[in-house]
Amino acid sequence: MRFSIVPFLLLAIPLAEIATFVVVGSQIGVFPTLGLVVVTAIAGSILLRVQGFGVVRRIQETMNDGGVPGRDLVHGMMIMVAGVLLLTPGFVTDTLGFLLFVPAIRDAGWSFLRNRIVILGGAASPRSDRASGRRRDPDPQTIDLTADDYSDTGNDRSPWRKPDQD
């Protein structure tokens, strides 16, 4: 039987958050503890906005140059997770969220994931039109027909055909 860490985390993280709230609240008081939670949520939303726009800009530059922005996409995903962790009330999730905003931590995550993911060509692949993102045929052919080159025989018994109106 394979061990899944998700149920363990769903139980352990809230318990760790409650314990941290109790310890911090007993040291600095209830209202400063709540204020600290609000301040970290505001700081997280500001960091998410600033670093998120930077990642979007780098992704656009990489795609405009014809590259695949794998690293920047992973960084963007980690920044999004960091923002969610910082908006979640608690000191444990805030610590994890702030760590994910550090570029060196994100680079370590990218080096871990790099060999485990497969990147397929998308809009920047050599067989696509970079301006529109549509896929081009490798050997396009134009078929030019006149009205004499085809005929519509139709099916008189088709349920989709309108009945003749007499």
pLDDT value at position 128? 47
Assigned domain for 102 exists: yes
CB 78 within 8 A of CB 85: no
The mean pLDDT value for 152-156 works out to: 69
Assigned domain for 144 exists: no
Flag whether pLDDT at 139 surpasses 60.
Answer: no
**Closest C-alpha among 48, 116, 117 to residue 81:** 48
- pLDDT bin (cut points 50, 70, 90) of residue 55 is confident
Residues facing residue 135 across a β-bridge:
128
Flag whether pLDDT at 132 surpasses 50.
Answer: no
pLDDT digits 0-9 by tens, 10-34 = 899 999 999 999 999 999 999 999 9
Assigned domain for 147 exists: no
- pLDDT bin (cut points 50, 70, 90) of residue 140 is low
Structure tokens at 40: 């970290």
What's the total number of domains in the chain? 1
Assigned domain for 136 exists: no
Flag whether pLDDT at 127 surpasses 50.
Answer: no
Assigned domain for 72 exists: yes
Query: Under 8 Å CB-to-CB from 76, ≥6 apart: which residues?
Result: 52, 55, 56, 59
Q: Which domain holds residue 50?
A: 5-118
Assigned domain for 127 exists: no
Give the global pTM: 0.62
Assigned domain for 30 exists: yes
pLDDT digits 0-9 by tens, 82-118 = 988 988 889 999 999 999 989 899 888 888 877 777 7
Assigned domain for 15 exists: yes
Flag whether pLDDT at 137 surpasses 70.
Answer: no
The mean pLDDT value for 121-149 works out to: 58
Flag whether pLDDT at 70 surpasses 50.
Answer: yes
| HSE toward the beta carbon, residue 89, CA cutoff 13 A | 8
